[in-house]
Copies of this chain bind each other. A is one copy, B any other.
Amino acid sequence: MMNFELTREFVENLRSLIERKDEAAVSEIIEALHPADIAEIYEELEIEEAKFLYFLMDDDTGADVITELEEDDRKRFLASLPSDVIAKRFIHKMNSDDAADVLGELDEERQKEVLSHIDDVSTAGDIVDLLNYDEDSAGGLMAKELIKVKESWSIPTCLRSMRRQAEEIDEVYYVYVVDNDDILKGTLSLKRMLLSSADARVKDIYNEDVISVNVNTSSEEVSNIMDKYDLVVLPVVDNIGRLVGRITIDDVVDVMREEAEKDYQYASGITEDVESSDSVWLLTRARIPWLMIGLFGGILGSRVIGGFESYLDNYPQMAFFMPLIAAMGGNVGIQSSAIVVQSLASGDMGIDTAWGKLLKELAVALLNATVMALLIFGYNRLIDSNMALTFTVSVAMFSVVIFASLFGTFVPMLLKRVNVDPAVATGPFITTLNDIIGMFIYLTLGSYFYNTLM
């Protein structure tokens, strides 16, 4: 039961120990920590300090720490080490999926160098195989390490083989059953093995209902499948059904978290994966693009408004409700897009067709638009605005809500169809566009009503 909390005092103390090269004290501190905690500490250290720490760890801990680091910290750290150290101290000690992920972050030249230092051909071969798969596919997520038994074996043969296989594998959750051609047939649960008699054979007790995915299945679908069926491990097969690997839930949790964070960042206008502990420069860089698009959109909006200058000269009250209408267009658009984006991401789109969805969105939009238009109409009557302004604001409100709803629903569906991440629709470009179109609708209606009624 370790409960480690990273504090400024802890880091300062550690840094001063490192400065004094107090190996004994530093060793004692890191031996009590989990690799994930050490990785957190790494992110606060300079490269040379991190290296000092690193050479005090045993190889297994060192490999785990590297796996746990954030990608940019890992890149920075590995860049400072020679290829043979990376090969012998890390890659060799990692699970094949982690090894492939880490190697995949290096440039090709460096990858070859590191691989040339791995003596065990089968390990190197596994990693090279994994590197060939698309990062966002089941192949890119899976590890090669798994325990498999043949359906024809007896339980004692099975146990002997499992013992041998288990030596290379960290955790045993499932045992897979294959036929003589390595085709996946089912799973053997440890519970069934605990409960079965010694003279049973694998084929009598294994479970045939196994859910698997193809190596080319997208990582999004993998995560939806594991979530829906509450799976901890998911076997991966090739195009003819041979068992080639397995995906564990912790890797998929990372995928899910990244997906959710990315969608959240789009919706809140941030373009890179940043945390409040990142540098000022990184934080600024992540925010400037949205602000630039917002600025550009605002300037475009000012041109649109400028085109109606003569009306504003005569009827300056029209300016009162401009921010309201612009904001409403943007907000309604984000709401509509966000609902579609979430449903697309969870794969839970129900059984409506695309037209059915637009029709339903139209119904929702009509309801919302009517309520909003009536309220703003009532308010304008209450404060005794002139009829032209009252009609302009109310009809513009109605039109903008309808337009932005349909546009916000349509765009992510279109983006999905052309294989662009639909979450882009909640991002700055579409939102700003909605603002401007809202402004245009408002002012056009305004010029019409003022011409007609005044």
| Chain A residues in the interface with B (C-beta under 8 A) | 1-2, 6-8, 11, 34, 36, 44, 159, 162-163, 166-167, 169-173, 184, 189-191, 194-195, 209-212, 227-232, 237, 248-250, 253, 256-257, 260-261, 263-265, 267-270, 274-277, 280, 283-284, 287-288, 290-292, 294-295, 297-299, 301-302, 305-306, 309, 312-313, 316-328, 330-332, 334-335, 337-340, 342-343, 346, 348-353, 357, 360, 363-364, 367-368, 371-372, 375-376, 379, 401, 426, 428, 432, 435, 439
Could you tell me if B232 and A364 are in contact, using CB atoms closer than 8 angstroms?
no
Could you tell me if B260 and A249 are in contact, using CB atoms closer than 8 angstroms?
no
Chain B residue with Cβ nearest A321: B302
With beta carbons under 8 angstroms apart, the residue of B7, B184, B302, B364 that contacts A287 is B364
Write the nearest CB–CB distance from A197 to chain B, whole angstroms. 11
Chain B residue with Cβ nearest A299: B379
A283 to B372, CA, bound (A): 16
A200 to B323, CA, bound (A): 76
Could you tell me if B320 and A306 are in contact, using CB atoms closer than 8 angstroms?
yes
A162 to B193, CA, bound (A): 11
A270 to B229, CA, bound (A): 28
List the B side residues contacting A349 at CB < 8 Å: 276-277
List the B side residues contacting A283 at CB < 8 Å: 339, 360, 364
A191 to B375, CA, bound (A): 67
List the B side residues contacting A301 at CB < 8 Å: 323-324
Could you tell me if A260 and B253 are in contact, using CB atoms closer than 8 angstroms?
no
Known: A8-B351, A172-B190, A287-B364. A323 touches B320 (CB 8 A): no
Copies in the complex: 2
Could you tell me if A194 and B166 are in contact, using CB atoms closer than 8 angstroms?
yes
Known: A195-B166, A342-B261, A351-B8. A368 touches B284 (CB 8 A): yes
List the B side residues contacting A328 at CB < 8 Å: 291, 294-295, 298
Could you tell me if B291 and A368 are in contact, using CB atoms closer than 8 angstroms?
yes
List the B side residues contacting A305 at CB < 8 Å: 319-320, 323
Could you tell me if A253 and B253 are in contact, using CB atoms closer than 8 angstroms?
yes
Chain B residue with Cβ nearest A280: B363
List the B side residues contacting A309 at CB < 8 Å: 316-317
Chain B residue with Cβ nearest A362: B280
Could you tell me if A312 and B319 are in contact, using CB atoms closer than 8 angstroms?
yes
Could you tell me if A210 and B1 are in contact, using CB atoms closer than 8 angstroms?
yes
List the B side residues contacting A264 at CB < 8 Å: 260, 263-264, 267, 338, 342
Could you tell me if A191 and B211 are in contact, using CB atoms closer than 8 angstroms?
no
Could you tell me if B166 and A343 are in contact, using CB atoms closer than 8 angstroms?
no
With beta carbons under 8 angstroms apart, the residue of B229, B312, B334 that contacts A316 is B312
List the B side residues contacting A263 at CB < 8 Å: 264
Top 6 A-B pairs ranked by shortest CB distance? Answer: A298-B324, A277-B350, A268-B338, A260-B260, A319-B319, A302-B320
Could you tell me if A190 and B190 are in contact, using CB atoms closer than 8 angstroms?
yes
With beta carbons under 8 angstroms apart, the residue of B172, B274, B322, B367 that contacts A280 is B367
Write the nearest CB–CB distance from A92 to chain B, whole angstroms. 20
With beta carbons under 8 angstroms apart, the residue of B163, B171, B297, B363 that contacts A189 is B171
A347 to B413, CA, bound (A): 34
A364 to B286, CA, bound (A): 10
A-B contact pairs, 10 of them (CB 8 A): A8-B353, A36-B230, A172-B189, A257-B260, A284-B368, A291-B368, A291-B401, A299-B376, A323-B439, A327-B432
